Structure 1
């Protein structure tokens, strides 16, 4: 097949694959929803058993644990600090369970019943699965139900017979392990999909560049054949003043066409959708130690040149790496955001913001290339722009845009 007829296939957008970010979102929201449901079912028992605890302890325990469940549900819906909220609930539950025997004032008031904490044990183990690595979650899933089994044997836990205590603990372990296996398998599958998407995108980029280069070569070859060689042959055969003047005009026209061909650039021919860039950035975020809140606006229907996508991706990743390396302040949490906005049908603005320590631009050493070369010059070379706003003690915002006029454009 002639090179000029070869086409790079477009990436299909008919069906969105499941990503790691989507798995985390679904897991967090399921945890938040079922946490509220289990908590509501447990409330009557908790109120009934509160009289067995030291004055005020029952109310305080319910307020802390149910409040943590509500915070977890809100965080899962808003997709903000979900892991932190899940970790907080899992830790509070373990503390409440360990403190239970010491807070029971009247074991007889339990009347041999099951402590109400048991009914939200699965919520706690699921929270650990969402919040911490699988190895740590596995330990939590085994240790916490085992703690409950021991407490169940005590008068403060209802004084159950050993077989019943073991069965209750094993039931909680089985449910927790089932949740752990399901979430872990979904995460691994999503990571494989993310890796395949990233590899496919890289292959697509390479193919698009090769196609653009080949198309440009064919165009230049045709131009050389049709204009340059014809001009040279005409100049060689020119004998009269009129023929030489004609050859000179042909030469000027050939030079002009060569200049236009060189200025057009081969890479402006291929375009990809903004969702492709969003997926690449989300995939990059999964490798970072610090979490970023991601907000995407108006991504549908926006297409960008391959060169612009590469520049935006590389500059955004560099800005995020800079934030993780330099924004943190000891003893203070740092919030980070990645905001991606499509501008009309062919532009994009990306903001990487944090509330960290910030810096003064004039204090950055000249030999540090992360801002000047990796962000500003990279975007300028691709036809875009970059703005860096930072104040010591008030965080940093890096705004990158393509094309350069999109920074102030409407979505």
Structure 2
């Protein structure tokens, strides 16, 4: 039988929502951490009233500024990582515990000091790299460190109020990250299910098309030839029978001998139709074929449709004559199969009959062409095959 075409490759399964979310989880924390580092350095150096100590403050500003750049580069290049977040939180906890010598008392109330901003930033960025439970726990540790640092600095009210704010931030940030992760997983799950269904559809469509092609080949070769012999349309020792039998065997059992061409490669349609004419040696068939080149897949469809039409002529229009014509314009290629046989009533053809419906009409439709049957009882038959995508 004809070789079964391989199913087209489906798009590889991926997680586009997860990949997009991972990118956001890298860019957003990196951006806010870097901007916070620059702002913290500027604000910290602007307010240095006692008991702020210059050396610890300068050291903290230098370390945190350098770390902000390292955090940014590592996160942008490699994504948000737990080890980067843990180092960041360790530096923040250290700054919180040392608030007594790093932050002036008059700017500490209200959570407006640079250490308070640093603590909030670290809590938020930590949620992007850690699991929800771990992120919340780390946020609580930072809030506790801020509380202890504020108490050591003599700011008990600030210790309670802003620590509570940091705890709330921990839960809110963790909840937001959890929802976005869950939404991303749901979107990827839907996309994966779509890909799987799409691939199954593609495979099923390819299998159906392969089955239809094999049925057409079988119908148009051995079954057609045997039917012609059975109806007396072909003599058992005729040259036409020998030519058809040889061609049928090559088509069905030796597909490897047929050239495999790029479907878009241009071939000579008139040469393909001359091969069809050879199958009807001895039958009163007149061919008028203008030179014409079309894509190989189109040439195959038109030639096989014309062959099926001529087979119908031999089987059903006994003692008739037939014409095969090929002409083309700048806009279309037209092939006509004409006979002066008895004709038939198209409306009376049963739906299970395969020849015209599949071997001609469906075959032409598969390459973007059309097939029109003009016939009536007693008036012969004209089969008009047209492919209009000529360039």
Is 2:17–2:185's contact at 8 Å kept on the other side of the alignment?
yes
The residue that corresponds to 1:127 in the other structure is 125
Distance 1:167 1:110, change over 3 A: same
Q: In the alignment, does 2:52 pair up with 1:58?
A: no
Is 2:135–2:170's contact at 8 Å kept on the other side of the alignment?
no
d(CA) in 1 for partners of 2:158 and 2:87? 30
Distance 1:242 1:261, change over 3 A: closer
Is 2:48–2:54's contact at 8 Å kept on the other side of the alignment?
no
Superposed CA offset, 1:36-76 (max 9, x none) = 33333333442234974666332222222222222333345
d(CA) in 1 for partners of 2:32 and 2:48? 22
Per-residue deviation, 1:124: 0.4
d(CA) in 1 for partners of 2:224 and 2:55? 98
d(CA) in 2 for partners of 1:62 and 1:174? 27
Is 1:27–1:183's contact at 8 Å kept on the other side of the alignment?
no
Q: Root-mean-square deviation (CA), in Å?
A: 3.6
The residue that corresponds to 2:161 in the other structure is 167
d(CA) in 2 for partners of 1:202 and 1:211? 14
Per-residue deviation, 1:222: 1.1
> Which segments of 5 or more consecutive residues in structure 2 lack a partner in the other structure?
1-7, 264-391
Superposed CA offset, 1:185-219 (max 9, x none) = 11110111011101110110011100110111011
Structure number with greater CO (CA < 8 Å, separation at least 6) is 2
Superposed CA offset, 1:365-400 (max 9, x none) = xxxxxxxxxxxxxxxxxxxxxxxxxxxxxxxxxxxx
Is 1:68–1:85's contact at 8 Å kept on the other side of the alignment?
no
Is 1:220–1:261's contact at 8 Å kept on the other side of the alignment?
no
The residue that corresponds to 1:322 in the other structure is none
The 10-residue stretch of structure 1 (144-153 or 173-182) with the greater mean CA deviation from structure 2: 173-182
d(CA) in 2 for partners of 1:213 and 1:50? 81
The residue that corresponds to 2:183 in the other structure is 189
Distance 1:97 1:260, change over 3 A: farther
Is 1:89–1:127's contact at 8 Å kept on the other side of the alignment?
no
Distance 1:164 1:57, change over 3 A: closer
d(CA) in 1 for partners of 2:49 and 2:171? 30
> Which segments of 5 or more consecutive residues in structure 1 lack a partner in the other structure?
1-7, 12-16, 269-411
Q: In the alignment, does 2:219 pair up with 1:221?
A: no
The residue that corresponds to 2:237 in the other structure is 240
* 1:273-284 equivalent positions in 2, closer than 5 A: none
SS at match of 1:82: coil
Per-residue deviation, 1:183: 1.9
TM-score in terms of structure 1 length: 0.51
d(CA) in 1 for partners of 2:259 and 2:188? 37
* 1:10-409 equivalent positions in 2, closer than 5 A: 19-47=17-45, 48-49=47-48, 52=51, 56-76=55-75, 78-83=76-81, 84-98=83-97, 100=98, 110-111=104-105, 113-114=107-108, 116-154=114-152, 157=153, 159-161=154-156, 163-233=157-227, 239-240=236-237, 242=239, 245-255=242-252, 258-259=255-256
SS at match of 1:19: helix
Is 1:134–1:180's contact at 8 Å kept on the other side of the alignment?
yes
SS at match of 2:236: coil
Per-residue deviation, 1:127: 1.7
Distance 1:165 1:59, change over 3 A: same
d(CA) in 2 for partners of 1:29 and 1:231? 71
SS at match of 2:78: coil
d(CA) in 2 for partners of 1:164 and 1:184? 30
Is 1:72–1:82's contact at 8 Å kept on the other side of the alignment?
no
User: How many residues were matched structurally?
Assistant: 242
Superposed CA offset, 1:308-362 (max 9, x none) = xxxxxxxxxxxxxxxxxxxxxxxxxxxxxxxxxxxxxxxxxxxxxxxxxxxxxxx
Larger radius of gyration: 2
Distance 1:240 1:25, change over 3 A: closer
Per-residue deviation, 1:261: 9.5
